[in-house]
Amino acid sequence: MNATLLAQNAYRTQAQTIRTERGLEYDAIARITHNLCMAARDGRDNMIAVARAIHDNRRLWTILATDVADPENPLPNALRAQIIYLAEYTHHHSSKVLRDAAPIAPLIEVNTAIMRGLGERRSTS
């Protein structure tokens, strides 16, 4: 392994250790949103990708809702309630998408709005 690769690996390891919780949330939502976008692009031609992206997005929103339902969560109550509402909406809309009764786009829009909020909070922290 040459010196450049060693330096890159060392930097990559260091960069991963300084990620914030908010940054990790952002990255997870971004990855899942990307998969939703790819599934929307492929459409019904690849139902396996659609189902996988929807499943991952539902898991994400279940985790977010569980986190904000914890009484120890430091977020304001109003924001916590909004996140729980979005989780319920996401689960409901996901069922419609899987039945081919709704587009994926609203799920992408919700995730994108959350990413914008996380990005704004990261820059002010």
The answer to whether 57 and 105 are in contact (CB under 8 A) is no
6 belongs to a structural domain: no
Contact 44, 50 (CB under 8 A): yes
Is 75 domain-assigned? yes
Q: What is the CATH number for 85?
A: 1.20.120
In a domain, 3, yes or no: no
Residue 88 lies in a domain: yes
Q: What is the pLDDT along the chain (125 residues), one digit of tens a residue?
A: 555 555 555 555 444 555 677 788 999 999 999 999 999 998 878 899 999 999 999 999 999 999 999 999 999 999 999 999 999 999 999 999 999 999 999 999 999 999 999 887 655 55
Q: Does 11 reside within a domain?
A: no
Number of domains within the chain: 1
Q: State how far the Cα of 79 lies from the Cα of 95, in Å rounded to an integer.
A: 25
Q: Provide the whole-model pTM.
A: 0.79
Full domain range(s) for residue 119? 20-124
